[in-house]
Structure 1
Amino acid sequence: MRGRPRGGDAIDAAVDERDTVGFVAVCRAPDPTSRYLTGRAFDCDLVFVRVDGETHLRVPSTVEPPSLPVASVRVDDRLPGRAAAAVLAEHAASEGTVLAPRTIPHDAALHLEAAGYDLASTAAVEDARAVKDDAERDAIEAAQRAATRGVGRAAAILSAATVEAADDRDGGSVGNDRGDDGEAVLSWDDAPLSSERLRRQVNATLAAEGVDYTGATTVRAGTRGGGNEPVELRPGEPIVVSVGPRGPTGYRGALARTFVVDPDGGWERRAHVACDAARKVSLVEADPGDDAGFLGSELRAETAAFGFSMADEVTRDVGGGIGLAAREDPPLDGDRELVAGNVLRVRSAVTHPDHGRVELTDVLVVGEDGPRLLGDAPTGLDPSRW
């Protein structure tokens, strides 16, 4: 996979179909689009031009231009639009219509127009990124395996945790929760177990798996905090562990599980049944040719069918495409049609102000023979059964 650009055939097809001069993109570091188009990570802005089936890259003099067998790479410190216009004039024509993503910077568009080129918008790159090939799916699956081990570490710690009564504590505090409200807390390895301690243990496991966890691991406890504030974990409350690791080639995984230590039943069990039922719906409504928006609405409707408010409790974010970015096409709304090769982050979640949150998130591949979930991570609330 490394060093091999993607989307070239799709770009060439769009250029031929619309009889245009070529294609131009201005990629801002660290935009995953540049990694997709070039097959490698760049720490700088770059100009990408595709003409006559050939790729031309222009990078600033602040970086050493890489040697890429699949592209012509040169240093060019001119403004991006002017650099792109020079490439087009040298390798194609001095005027005509050029395809570009909708997100091309305004100043680059103005410079291209001033050089005699008309711009036409294309979604060829976004559409190509939405369909993963075998190598891309393998990379996502590898990230998902690491995600499973990371969440598994959280399950092992929670399974080994003990309940410490409020009157047995030393009076310590963690973050914003000082434990002075008489609540029992969880203890692990002879110390109170906080959301931050658990998050760091998960991240240590992810690091050992060789994936990047930066900014993508959260531990949410009950109704306290939003996933980033450290709080002491308590028995009986739902604890959501969510990870989104990025593998060595840039492709991401996504996994979230909810655990309860020493449960007393009630709301979280009903919420978990609802989320698990919605998760199973994705295996029925995600065949090639199915409507992505319908899948999203069915995930929400199945969750709400267990007595939860569609407006106030059921999550609106039920997922969408995943790959080099955590959010890609196709979104699970609108009228997009699912096709074989789509890889989706599928999420079901219920939130209540008095009880907390229950969430299940997985990655699903839309295959020619139907959908399948990547990985075999258990879904139960009991961490000891992981």
Structure 2
Amino acid sequence: MMNMVDRHTSLQNAIEQELREHDADVFVHIGDRFDDLLRYLTHFSGPDRDYAFVYANGRSVLCAPRLFGEQARREFIGDLVRTHRQQVSSPPVARAVETINEFTTTNRILVPAHVSYHSVSSLEDDFEVITTSSDFGRAQKTTWERNQIESVQTVAQHGMARAEAVLADASIHEGAVHWEGELLTTERLRREVNAVLANHGIQDAGNTVIGAGTSCSDLHFTGDDEIHADETILLDISPRGKSGFYADLTRTFVVGEIDTWTRAAYDAVREAQDAAFSALESGAGIEAKTVHEAVSAVLYDHGFAVGDVSIGMYHGTGHGVGLSLHEAPSLSRDEVLKEGHVITIEPGVYDPEKGGVRIEDLIMVTQSGYENLTDYSRRLAPSTR
């Protein structure tokens, strides 16, 4: 397992390589706690206002607000933490410039392409600024990162199990689903899931998506909808763990009778996911889009359209998961899957008038195949077994 010292060394090597490719001497990143690349480079979960990271002359430095100094020294995996008062007259850019000038006499620095215009403009007062879109190896997860994701996925499965248990225990009255004597809604079910996540110290991060019937066709439904008998109930649980890594899990259930459309959709989606797994059996080196093509072929065979459609599958087969819920690679693009990529496999089909079905597992690409980080049954009828 890669420890923090090894991870720091790996990041240094990635930054050094990027500097060589751009003929630059210093790397600078300025952002806040919501910048996932900055968190990846520093392991610091910092404040919701800007701070700076500088890599110069073989040393990595975190310039953090003084009030966050203790936290920065505890979390930062680099070499040096410098604290400063958070004042308008002493912005992060100024701290970065001071650090650069102390460690080197360079005039050429590298920054991520998404750094704010204001920060870049300020840096250009003193340096020639080059931008990069590199993820610094972030998409290929280390053993430590993979374990962090799997641990959150395990908690997501606990949340799913709670939702399934509620649905299995529910009853039907005049076409509506009731639980513990009251009408069951997507919001009540969401609260049951999120309580489990919270009990495990995991944040739902506003990503517990639950649709019922027609709202299943809304891929990010977090509203309050009544749950009725014989309709699809789609649960997409994507919490975030203490170390910042996400998980992603989706299952679909029906309380009551399963109609012809739902059965056909579910069988197609399940077969499509199996086709994706088969495509991944060769492991690292395959083109990502071949996985999406395998899924699409199955869905077409079952009579469901794929792409820019109103009925069928109108999203990609999967995406990377890490410090961002959606990150590289995308299974719909011309990318090569590499060892350590953690991706979702989530085929689905939807009809705005009938409902929606999706099944989603989280897997890691290996050199010789893949490892499924999900261990949860695929079934339509909710059960506590």
C-alpha change, 1:212 and 1:2, in structure 2 (3 Å) is farther
Residue of structure 2 equivalent to 1:355:
354
Contact 2:322/2:342 (CA < 8 Å) preserved in 1? yes
- SS in structure 2 of the partner of residue 58 of structure 1: strand
Shift of 1:62: 5.3
Q: 1:273 aligns with which of 259, 267, 277?
A: 267
Map of 1:177 onto structure 2 = none
Query: 2-side partners of 1:69 and 1:197: how far apart?
Result: 41
Deviations 1:307-364 (A, max 9, x none): 0122222122332110011011112233211100000022111110221111111111
Residues of 2 paired with 1:69 and 1:257: CA distance?
A: 37
Letter in 1 for 2:178: S
SS in 2 for 1:251: coil
Helix, strand or coil: the match of 2:357? strand
The structure that is helix-richer by fraction is: 2
1:308–1:314 contact (8 Å) kept in structure 2 = yes
Equivalent in the alignment of 1:145:
154
- Residue in 2 aligned with 1:294? 290
3-state DSSP of counterpart to 1:317: coil
Aligned mates of 1:314, 1:279 — CA distance in 2: 13
Q: Secondary structure at the match of 2:40?
A: helix
Deviations 1:167-218 (A, max 9, x none): xxxxxxxxxxxxxxxxx11121122212111111111111122211130112
Secondary structure (helix, strand or coil) at the match of 2:374 reads coil
Classify 1:39/1:155 alpha carbon distance in 2 versus 1 (closer, same or farther; 3 Å).
same
Give secondary structure in 2 for the equivalent of 1:282.
helix
Structure 2 residue matching 1:284: 3-state secondary structure: helix
Q: Deviations over 1:270-294 (max 9, x none)?
A: 1111111221122223321111233
SS at match of 2:166: helix
Out of 38, 43, 54, the position equivalent to 2:42 is: 38
Match of 2:211 among 220, 234, 240: 220
Distance of 1:71 and 1:300 partners within structure 2: 48
Greater shift in the superposed pair: 42-51 or 82-91 = 82-91
Q: Secondary structure in 2 aligned to 1:130?
A: coil
1:22 aligns with 2:26: yes
* Counterpart secondary structure, 1:207: helix
Report the residue type matching 2:290 in the other structure.
F
- 2:54 matches 1:60: no
Aligned to 2:52: 47
Counterpart AA for 2:193: V
Counterpart CA distance in 2 for 1:373 and 1:315 is 24
Equivalence for 1:91: 103
Quick check: 221-230 or 100-109, which moved more? 221-230
Distance 1:94 1:120 in 2: 13
Q: Is the 8 A contact 1:212 1:245 kept in 2?
A: yes
Q: Which one is further off, 49-58 or 249-258?
A: 49-58
Structure 2: which 5+ runs fail to align? none
Structure 2 counterpart of 1:236, one-letter code = D
SS in 2 for 1:326: coil
Q: Which amino acid aligns with 1:28?
A: D
Cα separation, partners in 2 of 1:69 and 1:138, compared to 1, 3 Å: closer
2 CA distance for matches of 1:69 and 1:269?
50
Between the aligned partners of 2:321 and 2:329, the Cα distance in structure 1 is: 9
Residue 127 of structure 1 and its aligned partner are, at CA, apart by 4.3
Alpha-carbon separation, structure 2, partners of 1:255 and 1:273 = 18
**TM-score normalised by length of structure 2:** 0.88
Equivalent pairs counted in the alignment come to 365
Q: 2 CA distance for matches of 1:10 and 1:41?
A: 21
- Amino acid in the other structure paired with 1:359: R
Cα separation, 1, equivalents of 2:212 and 2:4: 39
Contact 1:260 1:381 in 2 (8 A): yes
> How far apart, in 2, do the equivalents of 1:368 and 1:94 lie?
40
> Mean Cα displacement is larger for which, 323-332 or 286-295?
286-295
Cα distance 1:18–1:120, how it changes in 2: closer, same or farther (>3 A)? same
Which residues in structure 2 correspond to 1:308-319 (within 5 Å)? Answer: 308-310=304-306, 311-312=309-310, 313-319=312-318
Q: Does residue 1:8 correspond to 2:18, yes or no?
A: no
Q: State the superposition RMSD in angstroms.
A: 2.1
State the AA in 2 paired with 1:374.
Answer: L
Equivalent positions of 1:237-386 (< 5 A) are 237-286=231-280, 287-310=283-306, 311-312=309-310, 313-384=312-383
Could you say which residue in structure 1 is the equivalent of 2:81? 73
* Amino acid across the alignment from 2:294: E
Residue 133 of structure 1: which of 139, 142, 160 is its match?
142
Please state if 1:208 is matched with 2:229: no
Name the TM-score, length of structure 1 as normaliser. Answer: 0.88
